[in-house]
Chains A and B, each alone.
Chain A
Amino acid sequence: MLRYFLIRLAGAIPTLFAVVTIAFFLVHAAPGGPFDQEQTLTPEIQANLQRAYGLDQPIWTQYTRYVAGLARGNFGPSFKYKDFSVTELIADGFPVTLELGTLAMALALAMGVPLGTWAALRRDSVGDHATMALSVAGIAVPSFVLLPFLGLVFGIRLHWLPVAGWEPLSVAHLLLPVVALTLPPLGVITRLTRANMLEVLRSPYIRTARAKGLSLRAILLRHALRPALLPVASYLAPAAASIMTGSLVVESIAGLPGIGRYMVQGALNRDYTLVLGMVVIYSTLLIVLGLLVDLLYAWLDPRVRLHA
């Protein structure tokens, strides 16, 4: 298992390398540079800045330098947030984003799977229809509509929760952003679980389990849950991507000091290293998650063989 994991991890390096390369040349191919907007600068200072950051070098030299830096875990200096390295910026903001995303993912799973199972057991009941209607709404209404709306209701009108802002370890400040990020994947997970649970409950081995006189609890937990979770497992990577995307807007609406805001700002400012750093971080996260999903798959279904 560990060996498989390491082999796959090594296999992810070329993918990551390709991503970095494409992103690097895309960013550099775009018109404009990081210091264009600072009009007060004299041409000499501009040239000095360019030299200081190595931007006067041929692009291949810049590329090899950047990749060599990355290999040592150095994301380079930020062009816009002078005095800060990209590594520092990411180290500051990443815990907030990670906390937000992990909470949203955990909540979506912890609520979606039981809800979907419950709806499947009560198929065609009022509760089932209501759950399905809510999950469609959850899927359809984007977080950047939901979060301002929740802020309007619970913050501005009811004064129960702060509309925006951040304090370490404050549940109140995290609650609305987490809810806004949770609902879309929650809707998908609920629907997936329900559909597959219905399928599994019809299967002959569930009939065998019932013929053995097992309790509903044992049938669901031991016999039905794992096969019903297979499609949910393969949805985890898209879910993570959707939460990451959502965090870009949710962080800026709620004023959270995560790294989500750096993506858009960095791209607008032509802050090459910051944008590339973000791409590397998010791609790595998704690749590692994809790997974990493969392992999860093998546990859910022993017929799946792990081969590198």
Chain B
Amino acid sequence: MPGSAATLAIDDLRVAFLPRGAREACRLVTAVRGVSLRVDPRECLGLVGESGSGKTQIFLAALGLLPPNSAATGRVRFQGEDLLGETSGRLNRVRGSRASMIFQDPMTSLTPHLKVGVQIAESLVCHEGVSWRDAERAALGMLERVSVPEAARRMRQYPHELSGGLRQRVTIGMSLICKPALLIADEPTTALDVTLQAQIIELLRSMRTEIGMSLVLISHDLAVVGQLAERIAVMYGGRIVECGPARQILHAPRHPYTAGLLECTPDLTRPVIGRMPTLGGQPPSAGTQIEGCAFAPRCPRAAERCRVERPPLETAAGCPESTVACHFPLTA
């Protein structure tokens, strides 16, 4: 029964920012323009989009981590509990214990003056009320499970004494110490070089089966998401434009934007002949009003209708598990 049993269900979420100094509501900048998403238990959902498409903001809003000059409307249900608009006291019972989030840059997202061991252990102390001693023992075990060599020594080190790859392993260990039902990984490999990327993806894969959690993998890179995700949602201009099983998205995309992204993804198994293809033009900035389809200005298939009428997200023809928002979708 999808829906009722979903780990995370997001319904018509909208996120807007009021730039500092602007008093009038007309200068509101909309980052997310009505997004609905579902993450089932033990499922891995990939969320793909260019930077600025609003993909991170969805989950910041869901966990109540948006900055103070912003507002979110809609509905977010996590394991049957409403999260949106909840007090930070109630959110704190969910954040870090049942739903965790890790961020792109492991250099800046760890507190510089605290030892790594303390940063991992403190979640356990906070959420499960265990003693610092026991929590640090558990943290040591966790560091070993995320394959940090010489874990006992690393426990006493500061983040700046660790390499980038180790730091990301630490943040992953930190987010999993309370065995959450959901992990949101926001561009976990972007700041790392290619060999480390593969290792981190492998780590996420094994930890996911070990803990039995749902995973949301946010990335601008379809290739990264394709390695783990069972379902993929593609975002453009603050909306989801296509969502479906990973196989279909990667091999038979319906939306011209997804197809464009795929063309730009280098296939390392084949030599590149000539120039790398790129998507021409610029994505819309978060503030602009969009009449029709946000992708129309860059779309090779756009017609007059696309510029005036926004296509709704509908079940794709010939593939009942997928949805697409396009007047002229590609066919398989």
A interface, CB within 8 angstroms of B: 123, 202-205, 207-216, 218, 222-223, 226-227, 300-303
A-facing residues in B75-107 (Cβ within 8 Å): 88, 91-97, 100-103, 105
Contact (Cβ within 8 A) A212 B112: no
Closest 7 pairs between A and B when the two form their complex, measured CB to CB = A213-B96, A213-B95, A212-B96, A213-B92, A204-B108, A205-B111, A204-B109
Across the interface, which residues of B come within 8 angstroms of A300, CB to CB?
Answer: 113
Q: Does B171 contact A (CB under 8 A)?
A: yes
Across the interface, which residues of A come within 8 angstroms of B91, CB to CB?
Answer: 213
- B100 is contacted by which of A202, A211, A302 (Cβ under 8 Å)? A211
Contact (Cβ within 8 A) A222 B122: yes
A-B contact pairs, 10 of them (CB 8 A): A123-B68, A205-B112, A210-B65, A212-B122, A222-B111, A223-B111, A223-B114, A301-B112, A301-B113, A302-B113
Smallest CB–CB gap between B187 and chain A, Å? 12
Contact (Cβ within 8 A) B109 A205: yes
Across the interface, which residues of A come within 8 angstroms of B126, CB to CB?
Answer: 212-215, 218
Knowing A211-B95, A213-B97, A301-B113, say if A205 contacts B108 (CB, 8 Å): yes
Across the interface, which residues of B come within 8 angstroms of A207, CB to CB?
Answer: 65, 103, 109
Kindly supply a per-residue 1/0 record for chain B positions 36-72, scoring 1 wherever the CB is within 8 Å of any chain A CB and 0 otherwise: 0000000000000000000000000001010110000
Knowing A213-B95, A223-B111, A227-B113, say if A208 contacts B158 (CB, 8 Å): no
List 18 extra interface pairs beyond A209-B111, A218-B122, CB under 8 A.
A204-B103, A204-B108, A204-B109, A205-B108, A205-B112, A208-B102, A211-B100, A212-B96, A213-B92, A213-B97, A214-B123, A222-B114, A222-B122, A223-B111, A302-B112, A302-B113, A303-B112, A303-B160
Which residue of chain B has the shortest Cβ distance to A209 in the bound complex?
Answer: B111
Across the interface, which residues of A come within 8 angstroms of B105, CB to CB?
Answer: 204
Kindly supply a per-residue 1/0 record for chain B positions 166-178, scoring 1 wherever the CB is within 8 Å of any chain A CB and 0 otherwise: 0000010011000
Smallest CB–CB gap between B70 and chain A, Å? 13
Smallest CB–CB gap between A204 and chain B, Å? 4
Contact (Cβ within 8 A) A227 B112: yes
Knowing A213-B123, A222-B122, say if A208 contacts B103 (CB, 8 Å): yes
Across the interface, which residues of B come within 8 angstroms of A205, CB to CB?
Answer: 108-112
Which residue of chain A has the shortest Cβ distance to B174 in the bound complex?
Answer: A212
- B88 is contacted by which of A204, A216, A218 (Cβ under 8 Å)? A216
Across the interface, which residues of B come within 8 angstroms of A212, CB to CB?
Answer: 95-96, 100, 122-123, 126, 174-175
- A213 is contacted by which of B68, B93, B158 (Cβ under 8 Å)? B93
Contact (Cβ within 8 A) A211 B96: yes
Separation of A213 and B94 alpha carbons in the complex (Å): 7
Smallest CB–CB gap between A107 and chain B, Å? 26
Across the interface, which residues of A come within 8 angstroms of B110, CB to CB?
Answer: 205, 208
Which residue of chain A has the shortest Cβ distance to B92 in the bound complex?
Answer: A213
Q: Does B127 contact A (CB under 8 A)?
A: yes
Across the interface, which residues of A come within 8 angstroms of B122, CB to CB?
Answer: 212, 214, 218, 222
Contact (Cβ within 8 A) B108 A303: no
Across the interface, which residues of B come within 8 angstroms of A202, CB to CB?
Answer: 67
Separation of A216 and B89 alpha carbons in the complex (Å): 9
Contact (Cβ within 8 A) A214 B92: yes
Separation of A203 and B159 alpha carbons in the complex (Å): 15
Contact (Cβ within 8 A) B95 A208: no
Across the interface, which residues of A come within 8 angstroms of B112, CB to CB?
Answer: 205, 227, 301-303
Across the interface, which residues of B come within 8 angstroms of A204, CB to CB?
Answer: 103, 105, 108-109
Separation of A218 and B123 alpha carbons in the complex (Å): 11
Contact (Cβ within 8 A) B158 A211: no
Knowing A215-B126, A216-B88, A218-B126, say if A208 contacts B109 (CB, 8 Å): yes
Scoring B65, B88, B94, B96 by chain A CB atoms within 10 A of each residue's CB, the highest score goes to B96
